[in-house]
Amino acid sequence: MADAETTPDTSYDVVIIGGGPGGYNAAIRAGQLGLKVACVEKRKTLGGTCLNVGCIPSKALLHTSEMFSAAGKDFAGLGIKVTPELDLPQMHKQKDDSVGQLTKGIEFLFKKNKAEWIKGAGVIVSPTQVKVTGEDGAERMLTTRNVVIATGSEPTRIPGVEVDQKRIVDSTGALTLSPVPKKLVVIGAGIIGLELGSVWRRLGAEVEVVEFLDRIIPGADAEVATTFQRSLTKQGFKFRLSTKVTGAKAAKDGVVLTVEPVAGGPAEAITADVVLVAVGRRPFTEGVGLEAAGVKTDKRGFIETDHYKTSVPGIWAIGDVTTGPMLAHKAEDEAVACMEIIAGKAGHVNYDIIPGVIYTSPEVAWVGKTEEELKAAGVAYKVGKFPFTANSRAKVNHEAEGFVKVLADAKTDRVLGVHMIGPTVSEMVGEYCVAMEFSAASEDVARTCHPHPTKSEALRQAAMGVEGWTMQA
Ligand code: FAD
Ligand code: NAD
């Protein structure tokens, strides 16, 4: 075993701790920029939360469960007679196969871009030293000019609700349930609760959502949230809003959850086969050596940064471990910007244009300010809105639920925000990201020819609506 204190065996320009979307994109970009880079990751595979237990497996289950549900409920009306039968082990297997292929793909990209994966847990010993402990306990010391912390996040826990990943699960446990629970209670009406709740609802579970606030998806546009809740209720979701969970008892065959109104009132017991705790995520920095290195965190545990620089020169931080939306594409953009700054270039992220998506059915997508934010800031704005019931492609596809709403500055017509609920809006929101990146006015989008018949015409029609000349019906 190498003497960790005295025999540094390698010297790098950048050592990144964490191989998720922040860490792996940083490693690849560093390699492209000609920096000597190593990425320390303790999981068996690269890709972090997103590829292993987040974005990718959840989207795999959302896709297949939606197909299963459509085959059972919608195909007959389209003239296709089938009687679907669920093969849950195969559904999980195809999800695992996709995850395996994608994580291997990152290993390939590392090799291609001369980024080294060092397997093990990293701890910052000094701004120029990272000690890595492998699975077998072997230690090695890396010396480096820069350390980047990209250690991500973990699920937030609720006191009195002990996650055992069997009866009481977090998002990771909810990705591998088998069999389909008869009744699933979801704590938290945020993105994870509604995405994973949708998976198990479509596969046959009764789903009840307990939410502390008086609305679902806090932070998203309120009109979208109301429409979304109505749609999920039609799909069979039950909602208990303004309700807090005070405890949970798991037994062999189920869970008893105690809840009470936030405003006060009698406690009630809810029984469930499985409870999913989805009340947010918190930064993960355990064992990284922040304190000893003097890296400052805020009250909630997020690493404080200024253009990815932490309070210690030479130590940087990106992704979920820093403030801002906990999204893979935010981590990825920060990774690129941080590496470019380290390489002496002008790295930049436009935090006003980070889209959000909920991959349910209908999907929800947005970018920019909400109406509530604009009102609070006293900004005068105009609204253009277009329903998918008036969009021919959505109509013929029998997926005409939802709308597109464009918010434009009342004086300059610059697009300030776009909020959508409807079919494949996840794939369409990027159009507005590009438009907004180029400081487009709503008229720019309104006068841009879009192909017919496509759902993307709804984006243009909503922009036309800002000046009141929507045409399609
Ligand atoms: P992470 O992906 O969390 O990666 C951090 C990595 O660091 C981990 O692999 C961890 O093992 C490693 N690590 C930690 N400490 C050490 C150490 N000391 N030494 C070595 N390695 C260490 N975002 C989206 O944009 N779209 C989605 O659809 C989406 N879906 C999601 C679904 C679920 C169920 C969940 C839980 C999250 C989802 N997210 C989604 C969020 C997304 O996964 C995160 O925003 C993203 O993974 C953050 O990337 P990161 O690199 O900052 O951290
Ligand atoms: P969230 O912040 O989206 O939602 C958590 C919900 O739980 C909120 O509505 C909150 O009011 C509620 N809540 C908090 N404490 C509660 C309590 N004690 N009782 C009842 N309700 C309570 O968090 P999440 O759904 O856990 O997701 C975490 C993060 O992961 C998200 O913020 C998002 O950034 C990321 N994510 C993104 C995607 C995507 O991009 N499609 C998918 C999944 C996760």
Name the architecture of domain 168-279. 3-Layer(bba) Sandwich (3.50)
The Cα 459–Cα 192 span in angstroms is: 26
| pLDDT score of 252 | 80
**Counting atoms of ligand 2 from 1, which one is nearest the CA of 210?**
20
- Residues paired with 183 in a beta bridge: 206
DSSP-assigned states of every residue in 122-171:
EEEEETTEEEEE-TTS-EEEEEEEEEEE---EEEPPBTTB---SSSEE-H
Low-confidence ranges of the chain (pLDDT < 50): 1-9
What pLDDT, on a 0 to 100 scale, did the predictor assign at position 473? Answer: 57
State residue 2's pLDDT score: 40
Q: How far apart are CA 389 and CA 401, in angstroms?
A: 7
The answer to whether the CB of 319 is under 6 A from ligand 1 is yes
Identify which of 158, 223, 159, 152 has the alpha carbon closest to the alpha carbon of residue 186: 158
Give the pLDDT of residue 7.
44
- Sequence ranges of the domains in the chain: 8-155+283-342, 168-279, 356-466
Regarding pTM above 0.95, the answer is yes
Q: How much is the pLDDT for 253?
A: 85
Output the CA 185–ligand 2 centroid distance in Å: 15
Q: Ligand 1 pocket, 40 CB below 6 A?
A: yes
Name 14's bridge partners.
37, 146
> Do 439 and 465 contact (CB within 8 A), yes or no?
no
Pick the residue whose CA is nearest to atom 27 on ligand 1: 55
Q: Is 220 in the pocket of ligand 2 (CB under 6 A)?
A: no
175 lines ligand 2 (CB under 6 A): no
Asked if the domains 8-155+283-342 and 168-279 are classified in one and the same CATH topology, the answer is yes
Ligand 1: atom nearest CA of 196 is: 34
Q: Is the peptide bond between 179 and the residue preceding it cis, with omega within 30 degrees of 0?
A: yes
**CA 171 – ligand 1 centroid, Å:** 12
Which ligand ends up closest to the CA of 22? 1
Q: Is 63 in the pocket of ligand 1 (CB under 6 A)?
A: no
* 335 CA: nearest ligand 1 atom: 51
Does the CB atom of residue 124 touch ligand 2 within 6 A?
no
For the Cβ of 281 lying below 6 angstroms from any atom of ligand 2, the answer is: yes
Give CA 218 to chain center in angstroms: 14
Which atom of ligand 2 is nearest the CA belonging to 326?
34
The crossing angle, in degrees rounded to 10, of helices 88-112 and 55-73 is: 140
Contact 37, 16 (CB under 8 A): yes
User: Best of 232, 243, 279 to mutate for ligand 2, by most ligand atoms within 8 A of CB?
Assistant: 279
Q: Is the CB of 218 under 6 A from ligand 2?
A: yes
Sign of the Cα torsion 40, 41, 45, 51 reads negative
Atom of ligand 1 nearest to the CA of 288: 18
Q: Provide the CATH number for the domain formed by 8-155+283-342 in this structure.
A: 3.50.50.60
Considering the domain 356-466, what is its CATH architecture? 2-Layer Sandwich (3.30)
d(CA 206, CA 129): 52
**CA distance linking residue 236 with residue 445, whole number of Å:** 37
Q: Is the CB of 152 under 6 A from ligand 2?
A: no
Pocket test for ligand 1, best of 28, 29, 39, 49 (most atoms within 8 A of CB): 49
Cβ burial of 199 (10 Å; 0-12, 13-18, 19+) is buried
Atom of ligand 1 nearest to the CA of 55: 30
- Regarding the beta carbon of 326 and ligand 2, being less than 6 Å apart is answered yes
The closest residue, in CA terms, to atom 14 on ligand 2 is 279
Q: Is 398 a known active-site residue?
A: no
- Nearest Cα residue to atom 44 of ligand 2: 192
